Amino acid sequence: MPRRARIIIAGVPVHLIQRGNNRQACFFFDEDYQCYLEWLDNYAHDSGCAVHAYVLMTNMYIS
């Protein structure tokens, strides 16, 4: 059963979690982390989104 749609309110922070499929690894090498952070920076800047904090773990990303 899919999750309900997230309610987004302008100006209110959102807690995001992205996990690997079946909790498998998302990041395998240091370069993977660096590439993801560059994408995050670029897309956050392009969309006007402020990233206040983040955690990169081998099998998930939390913001």
Domain spans of the chain, in order of start: 17-62
Tokens of 26: 């998302």
Helices (H) and strands (E) in the chain, counts: 1, 3
- Supply the pLDDT for residue 20: 84
Q: Does residue 1 carry a pLDDT above 80?
A: no
At 56, the pLDDT band (50, 70, 90 cuts) reads: confident
Higher pLDDT among residues 23 and 45, named by residue: 45
Q: Does residue 45 carry a pLDDT above 90?
A: yes
Q: Which helix (H) or strand (E) holds 24?
A: none
- Supply the pLDDT for residue 26: 86
Strand order in 60-62's β-sheet?
17-19, 60-62, 55-57
11-43 confidence digits (pLDDT tens)? 888 888 888 888 888 888 999 999 999 999 999
